[in-house]
Amino acid sequence: MRLVFLGAPGAGKGTQAKRLEAEKGWPVVATGDLLRAAIAQNTPLGQQAQAYIQRGELVPDALVNQIVAERISQLESFILDGYPRNLAQAQMLESILTKPLDAVIFFEIQEEALIERLSGRRICPECNAVYHIKNNPSKAGDQCDQCGATLVTREDDQPDAIRRRFQVYREQTEPLVAYYRERGLLRTINADAPPDEVYQQLLSVL
């Protein structure tokens, strides 16, 4: 199975991709993880990526494309999480695939629901446990149940930051919805639902 997971930041793509990987054995390919791995392994592509990051610049599409192409060339099945992010990347992906995609899963969620979800998220800075003040609160209030550290809100989970991320998504990534719908690949699920319900939707469209 060759899948692309498409949706706004915080729509739950990563959570569902990992669950599907655990149950079906389809490897998750996430660009952030690939970049970090390439840098940690000091590969030629990783060295180039690190130079951009050290300058505070975005890693350009051409380099991200190369890193993704190198990884998926080793795989029969995969779930692309967070890639492609724009039309240029989508067209590049088409050009390197030896077999076509089976489906593109669109995790649909409204901006206000996303703000409520992300602004309620709390992270443990010590063990990286994730909580939510409404859906998955810590039993210890503002402390981590696992290690006792004080929970924090990530800077990019502040409402203004979420709106900026959503705006970038709208401008760059949302056009891919129409792109993949025209190709008959798009499958839409309601991401504004409990994780187990989203997963059942996911299984039904697959």
Which helix (DSSP H) or strand (DSSP E) does residue 200 occupy? Answer: helix 195-205
pLDDT (mean) for 86-106: 93
Model pTM score: 0.82
pLDDT at position 172: 86
**Which pair of structure tokens corresponds to residue 106?**
């669109």
Domains in the chain with CATH codes: 2-27+75-111+163-205 (3.40.50.300)
Q: Is 13 a catalytic residue?
A: yes
Q: How far is CA 30 from CA 64, 79, 132, 138, in A?
A: 11, 8, 23, 28
Q: Is 165 a catalytic residue?
A: yes
70-77 long-range Cβ contacts below 8 angstroms, 24+ apart: 70/45, 71/29, 71/34, 72/29, 72/96, 72/97, 73/98, 75/27, 75/29, 77/1, 77/2, 77/25, 77/26, 77/27
Does residue 120 sit in helix, strand or coil?
A: coil
Catalytic residue among 24, 134, 154, 163: 154
Nearest residue to 67 via CA among 110, 100, 40, 37? 37
DSSP for residue 86: S
pLDDT at position 143: 94
Which helix (DSSP H) or strand (DSSP E) does residue 34 occupy? Answer: helix 31-40
Largest distance between two CA atoms of the chain: 51
Catalytic residue among 2, 13, 19, 122: 13
Q: Is 181 a catalytic residue?
A: no
User: 35-39, 88-92, 201-205 — which is least confidently predicted?
Assistant: 35-39
Nearest residue to 188 via CA among 204, 172, 170, 171? 204
Q: Is 122 a catalytic residue?
A: no
Exposure on the CB side of residue 15, measured as CA atoms within 13 A: 14
Q: Distance of alpha carbon 85 from its chain centroid, rounded?
A: 10
Q: What is the pLDDT of residues 21-38, one digit of tens each?
A: 999 999 999 888 888 888
pLDDT at position 159: 83
Instruction: Place 178 in a pLDDT band, splitting at 50, 70 and 90.
Output: very high
User: 9-18, 55-64, 169-178, 186-195 — which is least confidently predicted?
Assistant: 55-64
